[in-house]
Amino acid sequence: MNIPSRLEAKKRTSKEVLTKTNEYIVDNNLKTLGEGKTYFIKTYGCQMNEHDSENIKAILEDMSFTECDEMEKADLILLNTCAIRENAHNKVFGMIGRIKHLKETRPEVIAGICGCMAQEEGVVNEILTNYKWLDIVFGTHNIYALPNILATSMKNNKQEIDVLSIEGDIIENIPVKRDSKYKAWVNIMYGCDKFCTYCIVPYTRGKQRSREPEYIIKEVLDLVNSGYKEVTLLGQNVNAYGKDLDTNYGMANLLEDVAKTGIDRVRFVTSHPWDFNDEMIDVIKKYDNIMPYIHLPLQSGSDRILKLMGRRYTKESYLELFNKLKTIPNVSITTDIIVGFPGETEEDFNETLDVVNICKYDSAFTFIFSPREGTPAAKMEDNVTLEEKNNRLYRLNDLINKYAKEANDKYLNKTVPVLIEGKSEKGGLLMGYTDTMKLVNVNAPKSNIGKIVNVKITDIKTWSMDGEIVK
Ligand code: SAH
Ligand code: SF4
Ligand code: F3S
């Protein structure tokens, strides 16, 4: 049994990170372990977790499990969890309750949790005392070890907890079962060293480790050859890519090399304003296949709060960067904002509104500060009432929605490129995203799925647009 320790997770060692290509092995006797059995994975959290689930699916299929889309019918249930805010936690514990119920009628069901919550000391302690019936718990650092973890639990019919506190090397040969045939997530780095004072990610994902560029480029080239149209380069802080490698190769170089593979669309998330340099902006402008869409988290517009958050930029330097990004033709910019950080005053909040009024974002994710155990902000004195926090969130969303609508309105009667991904939730229509990341529903034949087509926008809705294909 390996259980996580917060103290260990916080450490940043200077141990060299190696790239290993032979770490993932499924022993011959485990290749049929899942024969006749189905699995169901529920994924919470960010794109990195989505992509981890694509790896987990492929690993389970290497053991002969088959995918099932109904939790109630599955033989193996995994929750790939997120720890970013309290409500993410609550959702998972609610689901664990449902699984317990299921296990009462079908005790042979194997149930487990993985992902960021599994990396938390407090969560694992709770599992050890109150959820002894959960079969497996593994973390974000040892997904490749799933075959052995699962086999040990099944063989001994016992709870198997295997969570490493400290990240290991980069494992390059993990298989993947992608959710889409047209767009793909590609990890370019793992972990985060920014330690924003409110954030749990540096504890759950370990220190920043960039993948070697050769492996990233090879993955993208393979995707191009398999007919993929779009890649999204993933990292908690992609602009810092390469800073931990012993070379001068950074995000601008990587973006350029990925663009040169000829893939139709290149995206990247998430950008921390701190490391966004002019070189990157030049590369984005130079290549038509790098999409004019940038997610640039603000968090707060108040210098005082930004300092308490440990974000290392000011309102002024953020706006300076924002204005430079606006010189990218046709660019759309979105953001993340936290309201109700400990001690946030009405004045601080007004600074945030001021930035929103200047930037007029295309859209934004907005959150109420949620204290995460073990982070510095969780210990800061917080005299803002929940009522006030809710009120600020409401006022902020009002403004965000106004600008989002204004940004969308500009698309009416324009013709824009859309990668058609599949059927829309709206009956009979197809759906896809513009280069600028706007969701469009299109009335067109299914033969367009997987293609980038020109769409004339005919109607603007609150969260989407309607359009028709033009030649
Ligand atoms: N790496 C990204 C953010 C990843 S987390 C970045 O630095 O930009 C996604 C968003 O969740 C953050 O941008 C932040 O707005 C929000 N968030 C993170 N921790 C939070 C917390 N403790 N309470 C509320 N929101 C939080
Ligand atoms: Fe969290 Fe900050 Fe790292 Fe983003 S950059 S993952 S907010 S610590
Ligand atoms: Fe959540 Fe972990 Fe992503 S905490 S946001 S799943 S890195």
State the pTM of this model: 0.97
Ligand 2 close to Cβ of residue 196 (< 6 A): yes
The pLDDT of residue 286 is: 98
Overall CATH class of domain 6-162: alpha beta
**Ligand with minimal distance to 240 CA:** 2
CA-200 nearest atom, ligand 3: 4
* d(CA 101, ligand 3 centre) in Å: 27
CA-195 nearest atom, ligand 2: 8
The pLDDT of residue 59 is: 98
DSSP class per residue in 389-409: HHHHHHHHHHHHHHHHHHHHH
* d(CA 199, ligand 2 centre) in Å: 6
Identify which of 82, 190, 199 to mutate to test ligand 2's pocket (most ligand atoms within 8 A of the CB). Answer: 199
CA-198 nearest atom, ligand 1: 22
Q: What pLDDT digit, counting tens, does each position of 332-350 carry?
A: 999 999 999 999 999 999 9
* d(CA 208, ligand 2 centre) in Å: 11
* d(CA 70, ligand 1 centre) in Å: 31
Task: Name the 3-class secondary structure at 335.
Answer: strand
Kindly report the CATH number that applies to the domain delimited by 415-469.
Answer: 2.40.50.140
Residue 171 burial by Cβ neighbours in a 10 Å radius (0-12, 13-18, 19+):
buried
CA-299 nearest atom, ligand 1: 15
* d(CA 85, ligand 1 centre) in Å: 9
Q: How far apart are the first and last CA of the chain?
A: 61
Ligand 1 close to Cβ of residue 336 (< 6 A): yes
Ligand 2 close to Cβ of residue 236 (< 6 A): yes
Task: Name the 3-class secondary structure at 60.
Answer: helix
Where along the chain do the CATH 2.40.50.140 domains lie? 415-469
The DSSP element (H or E) to which 8 belongs, if any, is helix 6-10
Identify which of 189, 333, 367 to mutate to test ligand 1's pocket (most ligand atoms within 8 A of the CB). Answer: 367
**Ligand with minimal distance to 81 CA:** 3
Answer whether 422's CB lies under 8 Å from 431's CB.
yes
* d(CA 74, ligand 3 centre) in Å: 25
Please give the CATH architecture assigned to the domain spanning 173-409: Alpha-Beta Horseshoe (3.80)
Answer whether 147's CB lies under 8 Å from 136's CB.
no
Helix axes 47-62, 146-156, angle to 10 degrees: 60
Q: Give the Cα separation of 446 and 86 in Å (integer).
A: 41
Query: Of 258, 326, 266, whose CA–CA distance to 296 is shortest?
Result: 326
* d(CA 83, ligand 3 centre) in Å: 6
Q: Give the Cα separation of 438 and 365 in Å (integer).
A: 15
Answer whether 80's CB lies under 8 Å from 42's CB.
yes
CA-271 nearest atom, ligand 1: 8
The pLDDT of residue 471 is: 81
CA-nearest residue, atom 3 of ligand 1: 236
Residue 147 burial by Cβ neighbours in a 10 Å radius (0-12, 13-18, 19+):
buried
The tokens describing 394, both together, are 């409401």
The pLDDT of residue 428 is: 86
Ligand 1 close to Cβ of residue 85 (< 6 A): yes
CA–chain centroid gap for 115, Å, is 12
CA-nearest residue, atom 5 of ligand 2: 194
Where along the chain do the CATH 3.40.50.12160 domains lie? 6-162
Q: Give the Cα separation of 249 and 230 in Å (integer).
A: 23
* d(CA 103, ligand 3 centre) in Å: 27
Q: What pLDDT digit, counting tens, does each position of 265-289 carry?
A: 999 999 999 999 999 999 999 999 9
The pLDDT of residue 13 is: 87
CA-237 nearest atom, ligand 1: 1
Q: Give the Cα separation of 335 and 399 in Å (integer).
A: 13
The pLDDT of residue 223 is: 98
**Ligand with minimal distance to 79 CA:** 3
Where along the chain do the CATH 3.80.30.20 domains lie? 173-409
* d(CA 31, ligand 3 centre) in Å: 30
Q: Which residues, listed in sequence order, are joined to residue 234 by a DSSP beta bridge?
A: 187, 269
CA-272 nearest atom, ligand 2: 5
Please give the chain's pLDDT, 471 residues, in tens. 999 999 999 999 888 899 999 999 999 999 999 999 999 999 999 999 999 999 999 999 999 999 999 999 999 999 999 999 999 999 999 999 999 999 999 999 999 999 999 999 999 999 999 999 999 999 999 999 999 999 999 999 999 999 999 998 999 999 999 999 999 999 999 999 999 999 999 999 999 999 999 999 999 999 999 999 999 999 999 999 999 998 999 999 999 999 999 999 999 999 999 999 999 999 999 999 999 999 999 999 999 999 999 999 999 999 999 999 999 999 999 999 999 999 999 999 999 999 999 999 999 999 999 999 999 999 999 999 999 999 999 999 999 999 999 999 999 999 999 999 999 988 889 999 999 999 999 999 999 999 999 999 999 997 899 999 998
Query: Of 361, 381, 360, whose CA–CA distance to 371 is shortest?
Result: 381
Q: Give the Cα separation of 319 and 311 in Å (integer).
A: 14
The pLDDT of residue 463 is: 84
The pLDDT of residue 15 is: 87
Query: Of 219, 177, 236, 202, whose CA–CA distance to 51 is shortest?
Result: 177
Output the CA–CA distances (angstroms, integers) from residue 70 to 39, 62, 91, in the order listed: 9, 21, 18
